[in-house]
């Protein structure tokens, strides 16, 4: 480690090496390259590569095979080559990477100290700039887990994360508009309410100063994100200029947010916290609110599901989390309406992109088979969003949302949004489901008194969701319904025999359904 090393490296010729290393920049140098000895590089050294004014950090792999690389060549992985943006053979310089400037602050956090606004900002800058190694990222995520961040630290972390990337600005469309949004903290399979809320709100927004430019994520550890589900119906990867044009016309959109570089530090942190299943209150608040602020939202309805297998499992935790969201949102000028909802079971029937898109279209079409719980929840959330409009009286939102949905105007608006984004063929009456399926049956007579959200999400993922859009789980029974032994509980859809087998084996070990006495049905705890 030569942290204060001056640049003593001679220039090498860049060479693109066709190796995909995902989010990690890797560069290759031959062991007999004079620079390797002069600089004391070893395999896995962290290096800085500079060319034509640009610079990237990368991990070094040392090459022993002279056929792979010339002696004075620097090989760059696909990612590194693309980020550096140079041509083959152009000169590049390589030096030891300096340690990230915020390392002292990270060590203070590990030692249990409270961090200042400046320290958190420095950490976020280094994370967004990809100057942290995976070890340092994991250390930050674990050290800030649980009760290690007080509410002002969460505030400063959120503000720094929102500031670290791009910030969408909708004022060019309508300088006075409320930019509204709706978000769920996650953990409940199905629950695809955004695709119903957005067209309802967009209908109303035509008549008032409201915009709902919804950006969503793809699934990371869940069987489907809103972006995955919407992608069954329309293109979702839209450049900002396209999004702007669509929102100008339709007052809303349903796009994937990953392209916009919103809160890039959040993406980096998620890549480490999810494999560890870490989702502490502070990290959740910073993650969600930094993305919303970066997306230009001014008003947000937040869905906090509460249930025995949801992310939040008791009312006291739900209230604490709600207050933390409220504190940070208020300080950052975001109007927040946080709602604790019934999270005892999946919402709707489908779990997986195509199955969830079918549920959504059934609701928008007013189809007799539409899942009522999904319809109800979407209407209530839409009502809350509509009530951000000063002209809508408190309590009138649900009624207004119901009128818009039942009139068919929400469906028409959804079609207009889908066409504007680029429609894809999708027949909701005969959705393109995985061609292999397996039915899981009730092991006994009784009432469904428990549906494990985590277990069903896992089974849907093993079946191939979201990579295979038609894969997943179709629930045939919900909480409180009576079943007799041998009756189907749910159907697993998969695209390949191997995936069906994975999912089946796990379902056979534990189906995720509890059949018991109707008296033991847990009562709903949320507002709706």
CA distance 464 to 118: 43
Does residue 22 interact with a second copy by CB under 8 A? yes
Give me the helices (H) in 231-351, please.
240-250, 264-273, 281-294, 315-331
DSSP output for 324-388: HHHHHHHHTT-EEEEEEEE-SS-BSSEESHHHHHHHHHHHHHT-TTS-HHHHHHHHHHHHHHHTT
Sign for the CA dihedral angle at 140, 141, 142, 143 comes to: positive
State the Cα–Cα distance between residues 498 and 112, nearest whole angstrom: 47
Q: Provide the 8-state DSSP code for 518.
A: G
DSSP three-state, residue 482: strand
Q: Report the 3 state secondary structure along 130-176.
A: CCCCHHHHHHHHHHCCHHHCCHHHHHHHHHHHHHCCCCCCCCCCCCC
Least spacing, CB of residue 234 vs a second copy, in Å: 25
Binding to a second copy, residues 137-166 (CB under 8 A): 137-139, 141-143, 145-146
4 sits near a second copy (criterion: CB under 8 A): yes
When the beta carbons of 109 and 183 are compared against a second copy, the nearer one is: 109
Q: Give me the phi and psi of 166, to 5 degrees please.
A: -75, 155
Contact flag: residue 8 with a second copy (CB under 8 A):
yes
Q: How far is the CB of 495 from a second copy (least distance, A)?
A: 10
The count of other CB atoms within 10 Å of the CB of residue 479 is 20
Determine which residue in the list 11, 110, 245, 476 makes contact with a second copy, applying CB under 8 A. 110
Contact pick of 10, 13, 107, 486 for a second copy (by CB under 8 A): 107
Binding a second copy by CB under 8 A: which of 53, 175, 241, 277? 277
When asked if residue 278 is in the footprint of a second copy (CB under 8 A), the reply is yes
Q: Report how far residue 233's alpha carbon sits from residue 196's, in angstroms, rounded to the nearest whole number.
A: 13
Of the candidate spans 158-166, 236-244, 275-283, 449-457, the one that interacts with a second copy by CB under 8 A turns out to be: 275-283
Beginning with the edge strand found earlier in the chain, give each strand of the sheet holding 436-441 in spatial order: 350-351, 472-475, 488-494, 436-441
Exposed, middle or buried: residue 3 (CB in 10 Å: 0-12, 13-18, 19+)? Answer: exposed
CB of 460 to a second copy, least distance (A): 13
How many chain residues are in contact with a second copy, going by CB under 8 A?
Answer: 64
Q: How many CA atoms lie within 13 A of 435 on its CB side?
A: 2
Contact flag: residue 20 with a second copy (CB under 8 A): yes
Which of 53, 135, 390, 519 binds a second copy (CB under 8 A)? It is: 135
CB-nearer residue toward a second copy: 142 or 416: 142
Binding part of the chain for a second copy, among 38-46, 330-338, 344-352, 369-377 by CB under 8 A, reads 38-46
26 touches a second copy by CB under 8 A? yes
Which of the ranges 108-116, 161-169, 248-256, 357-365 carries the binding residues for a second copy, by CB under 8 A? 108-116
Q: Does 53 bind a second copy (CB under 8 A)?
A: no
Mark 479-498 with x for binding to a second copy (rule: CB under 8 A) and - for no binding: -----------------x-x
What's the CA gap between 456 and 506, in Å, rounded?
Answer: 10
With a CB cutoff of 8 Å and minimum separation 6, the contacts of 27 are 47, 49, 58, 59, 60, 61, 74, 75, 76, 77, 80, 94
Query: Which residue of the set 126, 150, 267, 279 is catalytic?
Result: 279
CB of 244 to a second copy, least distance (A): 32
Q: Is 5 in the site for a second copy (CB under 8 A)?
A: yes
Shortest spacing between CB 465 and a second copy, in angstroms: 11
Distances (CA, A) of 45 to 1, 50, 126: 9, 16, 18
Among the candidate windows 39-47, 329-337, 404-412, 435-443, which touches a second copy by CB under 8 A?
39-47
Decide whether 77 or 287 has the Cβ nearer to a second copy: 77
Residue 65 annotated as catalytic = no
Tell me how far, at minimum, the Cβ of 5 lies from a second copy, in Å.
6
From residue 323, give the alpha-carbon distance in Å to each of 91, 300, 339, 363: 54, 14, 11, 32
Determine which residue in the list 42, 369, 391, 423 makes contact with a second copy, applying CB under 8 A: 42
For residue 53, count CB atoms less than 10 angstroms from its CB and return exposed for 0-12, middle for 13-18, buried for 19 or more: exposed
Count CA within 13 A, CB hemisphere, residue 159: 20
CB of 324 to a second copy, least distance (A): 18
Least distance between a second copy and beta carbon 462 (Å): 6
> What angle do the packed helices 315-331 and 151-163 form, to 10 degrees?
50
Give CA–CA dist 224/188, Å, rounded.
Answer: 11
Nearest CB to a second copy, comparing residues 145 and 261: 145
* Identified binder of a second copy from the candidate list 53, 111, 394, 519, rule CB under 8 A: 111
**Residue 11 binding a second copy, by CB under 8 A:** no
Q: Does 467 bind a second copy (CB under 8 A)?
A: yes
Q: Is 514 exposed, middle or buried (0-12, 13-18, 19+ CB in 10 A)?
A: middle
Please list every residue from 383 through 442 that binds a second copy, using CB under 8 A. none
Which is nearer to a second copy, 126 or 136 (by Cβ)? 136
Footprint on this chain of a second copy (rule: CB under 8 A): 1-2, 4-6, 8, 17-24, 26, 28, 31, 38-40, 42-44, 61-65, 67-68, 77-78, 106-107, 110-112, 133-139, 141-143, 145-146, 272, 275-278, 461-462, 464, 467, 496, 498, 501-502, 505-506
User: Could you give the residue numbers annotated as active site?
Assistant: 279
């Amino acid at each position: 480690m030569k942290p204060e090393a001056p640049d003593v490296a001679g220039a090498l010729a860049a060479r693109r090496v066709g190796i995909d290393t995902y989010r990690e920049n890797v560069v290759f140098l031959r062991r007999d390259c004079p620079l390797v000895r002069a600089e004391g590089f070893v395999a896995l050294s962290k290096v800085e590569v500079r060319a034509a004014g640009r610079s990237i950090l990368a991990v070094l792999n040392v090459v022993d095979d002279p056929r792979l690389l010339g002696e004075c060549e620097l090989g760059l992985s696909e990612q590194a080559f693309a980020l550096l943006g140079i041509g083959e053979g152009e000169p590049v310089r390589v030096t030891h990477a300096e340690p990230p400037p915020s390392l002292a602050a990270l060590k203070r956090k590990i030692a249990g100290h409270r961090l200042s606004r400046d320290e958190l900002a420095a950490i976020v800058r280094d994370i967004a700039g990809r100057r942290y190694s995976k070890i340092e990222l994991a250390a930050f995520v674990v050290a800030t887990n649980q009760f290690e961040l007080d509410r002002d630290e969460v505030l400063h972390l959120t503000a720094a994360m929102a500031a670290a990337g791009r910030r969408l600005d909708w004022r060019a469309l309508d300088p006075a508009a409320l930019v509204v949004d709706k978000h769920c903290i996650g953990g409940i399979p199905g629950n695809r309410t955004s695709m119903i809320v957005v067209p309802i709100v967009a209908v109303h927004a035509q008549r008032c100063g409201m915009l709902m430019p919804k950006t969503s994520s793809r699934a990371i550890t869940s069987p489907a994100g809103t972006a995955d589900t919407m992608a069954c119906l329309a293109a979702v990867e839209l450049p900002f200029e396209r999004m702007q044009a669509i929102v100008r016309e339709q007052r809303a959109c349903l796009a994937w947010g990953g392209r916009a570089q919103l809160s890039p530090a959040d993406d980096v942190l998620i890549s480490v916290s999810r494999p560890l299943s870490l989702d502490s209150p502070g990290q959740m608040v910073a993650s969600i609110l930094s993305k919303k602020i970066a997306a230009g939202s001014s008003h947000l309805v937040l869905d906090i599901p509460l249930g025995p297998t949801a992310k939040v499992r008791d009312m006291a935790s739900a209230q604490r989390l709600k207050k933390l969201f409220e504190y940070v949102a208020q300080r950052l000028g975001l109007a927040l309406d946080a709602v604790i909802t019934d999270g005892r079971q999946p919402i709707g029937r489908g779990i997986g992109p195509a199955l969830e898109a079918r549920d959504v279209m059934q609701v928008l079409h007013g189809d007799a088979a539409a899942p009522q719980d999904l319809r109800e929840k979407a209407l209530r959330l839409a009502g809350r969003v509509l009530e951000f409009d000063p002209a809508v009286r408190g309590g009138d939102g649900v009624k207004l949302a119901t009128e818009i949905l039942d009139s068919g105007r929400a469906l028409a608006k959804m079609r207009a949004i889908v066409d504007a984004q680029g429609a894809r063929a999708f027949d909701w009456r005969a959705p393109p489901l995985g061609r292999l399926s397996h039915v899981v049956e009730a092991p006994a007579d009784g009432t469904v008194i428990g549906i494990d959200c985590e277990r069903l999400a896992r089974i849907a993922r093993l079946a191939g969701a979201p990579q295979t859009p038609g894969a997943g789980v179709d629930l045939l029974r919900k909480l409180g319904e009576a079943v007799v032994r041998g009756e189907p509980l749910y159907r697993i859809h998969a695209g390949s025999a191997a995936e069906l087998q994975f999912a089946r084996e796990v379902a056979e070990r534990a189906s995720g359904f509890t059949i018991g006495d109707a008296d033991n049905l847990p009562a709903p705890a949320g507002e709706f």
